[in-house]
Amino acid sequence: MAWYQIDVDEIFKTLRASEEGLLNEAAEARLAQYGPNRLAEEEKISRLKILIHQFTSPLIYILLIAAVVTAFLGEHIDTGVILAVVLLNAVIGYIQEYKAEESVRSLKKMVVPKARVLRGGKEKEIQSERLVPGDIVLLSSGAKVPADLRLFRAAELNVDEAMLTGESLPVAKATEAIPAERLTPGDQVNMAFMGTVVVSGRGRGIVVETGAKTILGTIAQEVREAGVVRAPLQEKIGQFAKAIGLIVLAASGLLFLIGILIGEKIDTMFMTAVAAAVAAIPEGLPIVVTITLAIGVARMARRNAIIRNLPAVETLGGTTVIGSDKTGTLTRNEMTVRLAYDGTHTYELTGTGYAPRGEILQDGLPIEAGPLNHLRPVLRIGLLCSESDLYEENGEYKIDGDPTEGALIVAAMKGGLDPTQERERYPLVAMIPFESELGYMATLHRRENRKFIFAKGAPERILDMCAGAGAARGEIMKIADQFAAEGLRVLAMASREAPPDQETLTHDHLASGLLFAGLQGMIDPPRPEAVQAVARCRKAGIRTVMITGDHAVTARAIAKQIGIVEEGAEVLGGKALEAMDDEALFQKVKGVSVYARVAPQHKLRIVQQLIRHGEIVAVTGDGVNDAPALKAAHIGIAMGKSGTDVAREAADMVLTDDNFASIAHAVEEGRVVFDNIRKVTFFLIPTGVAAILSILGAVLIGVPIPYVPAQLLWINVVTNGLQDVALAFEPGEQGVIDRPPRNPKEGIMSRLLKERTVLVGLIISAGIIYRFIETLNDGASLEKARSVAVTTMVFFQFFQAWNSRSETESIFRIPLMSNPFLFYSLIAAFFAQLAVLYVPAFQWVFRTVPLTLTDWLEIAGTAAVVIVAVEIDKWLRRRKGGDDLLQPVPL
């Protein structure tokens, strides 16, 4: 029911209540009828169920099969390594999924434990769980609202609703019914919602909704229903694992069948086929993906982005749309006076935030404080007609009081006025605090033997009280409208001299006779770094969308200043959103980049419709109202400084500095992470393919198999083990942030990498068979030929590791020591291979014999072919600008 539209008397009748409150018996009966005033209990997934869920990935199935096979082969070390990989992935996944279940628990912290009510005409404190519709709740400064209330008394009542609506300023509350349809919570000024905080004043309201039916309860339900969106990387790894599993199974089966058909022993071919399958399966990939993501987490942490969910690292790199809050993320959340008018001239004030640093400009030129005779009274009124103060803490300026008044104090200081001296020169005698119904605030000051009244408020209201403003009113309102059109909140200043004996201040003293002093226009300014970050995102092909609870004019002005939209761009408001069905919104979201006065469900719907378009969506938020959208997006980004626990628990990433620029940095790191996962994959897959092709080729040619099973496992587990991990530490390539986002449908392997995998796999397998047959033809033993084949494969892997460092850049342009881990891992792998060839114990295990210097030179020369081939391929693609080859091909 739209309670805000209904007159208070009608609500009392509907709820069978009175201003004296319910009798205890009636309250107990209603408690039984409506249930306790608390959020619904979350149905928790059992820990066992979460643990079992970690073993349902296709890649994990393959690894478990590989573990069984290696155990069957007696390769217990390999079995241990594979099981350790499975266990590590399970532990990480379990922790992440269990944390995801904490979201709604944080919502419950917003529920108020106690409430002051009237029961039978007597004031008493009760547990808020026992509140029922019809109860009368008493509100005072500092109190949390315990349920959704329809206000019927409000004395200077201001409520902070930022956690619920995103509105940066406290909302002045009223009691009259509002006839408008489909108002968002932020516009329902005669309502007070559960979890919001009373900033000042007093009020009374009748409980109209409790528990799950409150706005907060609705959000809790949306968080539960939103579910956790699987990260694109998780989807890609799943698809990739299925494809690899099927290909390896088919290739191994074909190898076994061909071997039997040409007369090989069944047990020999079985062991060979199994070993080849284990060699081809990239069991190092899951652990390397985890390590790569963990490295990305560490790099992002240094850039003020804390990752709570590992796959979110990569998701950022693929982001195509960022839905951002305005206040505090794109802006400073510090009101700043930008323009001032003294009745004759308009001035621009530089500087942002509460730091009193900046200049006053006229026609773009700075003006010294001395000549500002006409502007100084405007600044003085803004400074002294105030209940707030500016103070410094740890080198940072903060406001004690209202942000608007803080901006006026800072503006006065930029004009050369010292707050302490001004308050000593004009001591306060009396005050009329700001009231939303009146639209102004006034103060009475003493100045030696004279007294002055200062007033500030809405331009229309102040001009009504000014003497002789009629002729100039049109010009003044024109200036005020110009200020407002730029998204500024405009206040007018006026004053007059009072009788020397006047000691009080009433509304009658301000009915007329004031002298208009001027206007000041203020706004929560954009962060300079946010402007750069939005431009950077646009260059990277990422669209920034502003989703705010603020008013449309302000939202459009800030979006234009930041560079999100151009002049005259459409702004979609909450009322229009409310009237749209999902299909209409689906058509709108592709073209609209600014949404204003949105309710929690609106933000969620916007995110859902963007995802329907195939976008990879990141969304920022700091309030309870943002939790459903944070959870529904591919990556939810919460504010660390200003955000609520609810938002942080629902998010995948937390910004420690609440700065949009940190998102742009994180996007860059996310792209580096995905690049490195691709590099690892391109290193592992061709060598696995070559292992099967070389065996298959040898069988078809009619020569012995080039390896024994133990040698295949050595190649796969030991020599790959260091190099694939080392590739996870590759630094980002130049221009990584300037590329457009990859197509969301693109798999782990791009078309380019698939074509190059075939090329490299064929070269490696051909090189191994060539060296194997040449060694046999030279009269060497089978053990010697196999030792040469294994070492040739190891050298091919060395060179393939260098090839994998970039998809397009020549390895000769990449500094040798830009990734020292890779350099040292190759040296370690080389010495490990020497041990296999020359240490007697390893010779016995792996059936190897020592090689001569000539053997080493021939092996190195053969393996170097893979570098030449890939360099030529890269050069050809660069020459013809082969961007089309990066387009997705389904796995």
Task: Record the pTM.
Answer: 0.68
Return the pLDDT at 595: 95
Q: Region 300-310: what's the mean pLDDT? A: 79
Share of the chain above pLDDT 70, in %: 86
Return the pLDDT at 279: 65
Residue range 705-721, pLDDT digits in tens? 898 877 877 876 655 66
- Polymer length of the chain: 891
Q: Of 410, 493, 427, whose CA–CA distance to 455 is shortest?
A: 493
Residue range 818-859, pLDDT digits in tens? 999 999 989 988 999 999 999 999 998 888 999 999 999 999
d(CA 862, CA 183): 74
**Angle at which helices 751-777 and 660-701 pack, to 10 degrees?**
40
In this predicted structure, the answer to whether residue 431 has a pLDDT above a threshold of 80 is yes
Pairing of strands 171-172, 114-119: unpaired
Say which residue, 738 or 132, is predicted with more confidence: 132
Instruction: Name residue 365's beta-bridge partners.
Output: 362
- Where do we find the tokens 């309710």? 599
In this predicted structure, the answer to whether residue 890 has a pLDDT above a threshold of 50 is no
Q: In what order do the strands lie in the sheet with 653-655?
A: 305-307, 653-655, 635-639, 617-621, 321-324, 543-547, 594-596, 571-573
Return the pLDDT at 680: 87
Q: Region 400-418: what's the mean pLDDT? A: 92
Instruction: Name residue 114's beta-bridge partners.
Output: 127
In this predicted structure, the answer to whether residue 886 has a pLDDT above a threshold of 50 is no
pLDDT winner (highest mean) among 179-188, 548-557, 637-646, 834-843: 834-843
In this predicted structure, the answer to whether residue 647 has a pLDDT above a threshold of 80 is no
Residue 481, class by beta-carbon neighbours within 10 Å (0-12 exposed, 13-18 middle, 19+ buried)? exposed
Q: Region 41-47: what's the mean pLDDT? A: 57
Instruction: Name residue 290's beta-bridge partners.
Output: none
Q: Region 868-889: what's the mean pLDDT? A: 71
Burial 283-305 (b: 16+ CB within 10 A, else e): bbbbbbbbbbbbbbbebbeebbb
Residue 95, class by beta-carbon neighbours within 10 Å (0-12 exposed, 13-18 middle, 19+ buried)? middle
* Amino acid making up residue 829: A
Q: Region 871-888: what's the mean pLDDT? A: 69
CB-CB neighbours of 246 under 10 Å: 11
Return the pLDDT at 717: 60
Return the pLDDT at 118: 94
Return the pLDDT at 102: 47
Helix, strand, coil share (%) of the chain residues, nearest 5: 50, 15, 30
CA angle 286, 287, 290 (to 5 degrees): 90
Q: What 8-state DSSP symbol labels residue 714?
A: I
Half-sphere exposure of residue 240: CA atoms within 13 angstroms, side-chain side: 24
Q: Considering the candidates 187, 325, 855, 873, report the single residue annotated as catalytic.
A: 325
Q: Region 523-545: what's the mean pLDDT? A: 89
d(CA 495, CA 501): 17
Return the pLDDT at 468: 67
Torsion of Cα atoms, 674 then 676 then 682 then 683, to 10°: -160
Contact 158, 171 (CB under 8 A): yes
d(CA 737, CA 731): 13
Q: Note the Cα 291 to chain centre separation in Å.
A: 21
Per-residue tokens: 674: 């995905």
Contact 160, 129 (CB under 8 A): no
Q: Region 365-382: what's the mean pLDDT? A: 83
Q: Region 383-412: what's the mean pLDDT? A: 91
Largest distance between two CA atoms of the chain? 122
Return the pLDDT at 373: 80
Per-residue tokens: 82: 């594979």
Q: How far apart are the first and last CA of the chain?
A: 51
In this predicted structure, the answer to whether residue 813 has a pLDDT above a threshold of 70 is yes
Residue range 72-124, pLDDT digits in tens? 767 676 677 667 767 766 775 566 455 544 433 444 444 557 889 999 999 99
Per-residue tokens: 696: 């298959």
Q: Region 18-45: what's the mean pLDDT? A: 84
d(CA 852, CA 54): 49
Q: DSSP for 786-839?
A: HHHHHHHHHHHHHHHHHHTT-SSS-GGGS-TTSSHHHHHHHHHHHHHHHHHHH-
Return the pLDDT at 757: 92
Return the pLDDT at 511: 87
Residue range 138-176, pLDDT digits in tens? 998 778 899 999 999 998 898 888 777 766 678 889 999
- What residues contact 396, with CB distance under 8 A and at least 6 apart? none
Q: What is the mean pLDDT of the chain?
A: 84
Torsion of Cα atoms, 403 then 404 then 407 then 412, to 10°: -130
- Residue 541 Ramachandran class (φ > 0 left, ψ -120 to 50 alpha, else beta): left
Share of the chain above pLDDT 90, in %: 43
Q: What 8-state DSSP symbol labels residue 231?
A: P
| Residue 160 is a catalytic residue | no
In this predicted structure, the answer to whether residue 470 has a pLDDT above a threshold of 70 is no
Residue range 604-644, pLDDT digits in tens? 899 999 999 989 999 988 777 788 888 889 889 988 776 66
